Structure 1
């Protein structure tokens, strides 16, 4: 932010002349500092660059795409991209990466990323995809769960880029893609062939084994990871705890949690505590899960309590469900605070607990409380995915 304000101060003086590098550096700073104020400032820099005649510079426009995409204004980024008469592979990469980084519209934007990749292949200027392009495209396939497209991209990489086992980033992208698309054996095959693996590779493989219910193998992976000299990070432990949850490995999960800081020097984070609550709750250890939340050094959030409430409903523990439900309702912000929106899920969950026990008076009380706070239920929806037959 200091560089942005320094630039703004220079502009206010009015007697300094800037070159294209100035705009590249300032827009890069705006891309790294993501906030509403930065988006506004970056737009002013865009206008200033246009008036000064620097928008013909390829790097200025490419950095502008990166800035808009990082600040979640993907429409402005695409407008800049479409207006360009000349593009480099870096420009294409910036736009494709911008699409896959849009978490709020992930499905639609990932589809746009794949369409843009096909346009890149047919572009008359002959800009060839790079390893960065392929990592981004594989990420799009992973988020969409499109195995066919991912396999086609894999074949393209083998023919035109490199052997995946020779590139740690492409190899990791393939491991992640195949695991998330349900083809865990292909992910394992690539993982074993890779000559160099980093912490992201090991984490992607551990996460894949976890979501496929192969918890024992995921835990064995940690020992192999340590033996290879790679230190796990917090995301690694999140995937391993998830593995324990899916496989019902209560003792193993608790033992791993106890050794997170002692053996590996990583202090457990809120998501790690959440995994343990989920692990205990799924196994029916509801009192232990409640005590675990109460005794944890971090302040428990609503997600932890919701996880326990869900477990109470599954195991039919009305007394604990009522206790947790009331805690959740007390966590709701007063007067529909703008900072944390009031949702209906907690009210409905508690209402369902009372309904399952035939306590209709309490059900009515919860419903009245929802109405008094003007909490509206969310309509249901569905998502139908079509199979794409092109990369």
Structure 2
């Protein structure tokens, strides 16, 4: 088999045959043999080398990636096409670096696809640096006259929204000469995906949907549009709007029971808007249900404190041949927590890997700590955290500390609080920015036991360290009119 690819190259040298041959190769050595033979034969087909780049990147090894990066340098006239393939196939950070490297060379003119792929990479990359890099790319797009391309504009909206700069995303959207439904969906999805100022952005998503309905942008809503607006209605808890959207779906798009994604969106919306009966009605009518559908229904039961019903749904899920995922178990543990089903929750946790093949993650451990803490089993929760084999998250200790305050267990609270303050001290030494939440939590534990001298001591330490704590606040948003 050593010279297998080379022997086949001897007989099959048409682009179609070569493309088929490359599709079957998974070993880096065979790809290198084909690559070498292509160079020897002087074959300059961009299509074949594009396929070779894809196969090199699919190998997922540094050596394969290095060879893929070399291919565009072997061409002169068509290398922008190969560069685009390379940017599309490599991981986000690598794709951004590839683009930056070619910008510094100033050897070719990029096209629309280049900017679409590299902005997409910025959208998928870490928000820490990707926002700054994406802004530089956006500036190049404007400078070189590519911003009129609707696909680039839509990708730019997606990039800004993914990096939490919703204001810039909306600015790009408002400056578009022509807006299609994909751009509207990208903007609405961007609003609904934010973790901060959730109510405000959900409200903006509903306003944008209203403009789509009244033909302000001259586009028609699609199933993706509806999923975005159902998410917004869920976040706002506006049942009237959700019901109107349900009617709109049945009249203009399809019956929800025939579309697993729309059906799941409606189950989620009705559950979160407090109408569990309607959620069950949609759920039972659906002809096809995937793991997301079952998880949405489980989450709805958890929200309403119906722990036993949620566990029964897990049995029905298994009977229907659907395997639960990590999110499903998070919802099940939440249901047990709200219903006080301690034994059931612990049994489910210890059997989730052996029985369902789902490895417990940090959020599952957090659910169990919360379950034990709410039930007052503080010693068991402490031992559970100590017994965790991997690195313990401070969130687990904070959850236990809050439970100590609720149950007025000052001894355990002081013990846990000091562990957290020790971790804070280590962060200070490492130069990491800490917060005052652990100090405040320990102070509250002391206050619940009327140990005012200890409260004063904690506050004094905060003053010495210059730790400030911003008080919480809340806002109320109301819809001026329902859709």
CA displacement at 1:94 relative to structure 2: 0.9
Unaligned 5+ segments in structure 2 are 1-92
Counterpart for residue 25 of structure 1:
117
Cα pair 1:149 1:388 within 8 Å, conserved? no
> Measured at CA, do residues 18 and 309 of structure 1 come closer, stay the same or move farther in structure 2, by a change above 3 Å?
closer
Counterpart for residue 87 of structure 1:
179
Counterpart for residue 223 of structure 1:
315
CA displacement at 1:119 relative to structure 2: 1.1
Counterpart for residue 353 of structure 1:
445
CA displacement at 1:41 relative to structure 2: 2.3
Where do residues 75-154 of structure 1 align in structure 2 (5 Å cutoff)? 75-124=167-216, 126-154=218-246
Cα pair 2:200 2:477 within 8 Å, conserved? no
Match of 1:214 among 276, 297, 306: 306
SS in 2 for 1:375: coil
Cα pair 1:322 1:350 within 8 Å, conserved? yes
CA displacement at 1:37 relative to structure 2: 2.7
The alignment status of 1:191 with 2:283, answered yes or no, reads yes
Counterpart for residue 273 of structure 2:
181
SS in 1 for 2:450: coil
Counterpart for residue 434 of structure 2:
341
Aligned length, in residue pairs: 390
CA displacement at 1:44 relative to structure 2: 2.3
CA displacement at 1:229 relative to structure 2: 1.4
CA displacement at 1:124 relative to structure 2: 4.8
Cα pair 1:241 1:276 within 8 Å, conserved? yes
State the TM-score, normalizing by the size of structure 1: 0.94
> Measured at CA, do residues 9 and 220 of structure 1 come closer, stay the same or move farther in structure 2, by a change above 3 Å?
same
> Measured at CA, do residues 218 and 60 of structure 1 come closer, stay the same or move farther in structure 2, by a change above 3 Å?
same
Cα pair 1:329 1:347 within 8 Å, conserved? yes
Structure (1 or 2) with the larger CA radius of gyration: 2
Cα pair 2:230 2:269 within 8 Å, conserved? yes
> Measured at CA, do residues 104 and 380 of structure 1 come closer, stay the same or move farther in structure 2, by a change above 3 Å?
closer
Cα pair 1:142 1:177 within 8 Å, conserved? yes
Distance (whole Å) between structure 1 residues aligned to residue 134 and residue 285 of structure 2: 44
Cα pair 2:203 2:479 within 8 Å, conserved? no
Distance (whole Å) between structure 2 residues aligned to residue 142 and residue 124 of structure 1: 24
Cα pair 2:211 2:217 within 8 Å, conserved? no
Cα pair 1:336 1:342 within 8 Å, conserved? no
Cα pair 1:149 1:389 within 8 Å, conserved? no
Counterpart for residue 74 of structure 1:
166
Distance (whole Å) between structure 1 residues aligned to residue 416 and residue 106 of structure 2: 61
Distance (whole Å) between structure 2 residues aligned to residue 65 and residue 218 of structure 1: 38
The alignment status of 1:330 with 2:422, answered yes or no, reads yes
Cα deviation code 1:130-166 (max 9, x no counterpart): 1011101111111111112111111111111111111
SS in 2 for 1:332: helix
Counterpart for residue 256 of structure 2:
164
CA displacement at 1:281 relative to structure 2: 1.5
> Measured at CA, do residues 196 and 352 of structure 1 come closer, stay the same or move farther in structure 2, by a change above 3 Å?
same
CA displacement at 1:266 relative to structure 2: 1.5
> Measured at CA, do residues 157 and 85 of structure 1 come closer, stay the same or move farther in structure 2, by a change above 3 Å?
same
Cα deviation code 1:23-63 (max 9, x no counterpart): 22222222222334322222222222223222222112111
The alignment status of 1:38 with 2:130, answered yes or no, reads yes
> Measured at CA, do residues 313 and 19 of structure 1 come closer, stay the same or move farther in structure 2, by a change above 3 Å?
closer
State the TM-score, normalizing by the size of structure 2: 0.77
CA displacement at 1:248 relative to structure 2: 0.7
Cα deviation code 1:264-316 (max 9, x no counterpart): 11221111111111111222211111111111113222221222222222223
Cα root mean square deviation, aligned: 1.9
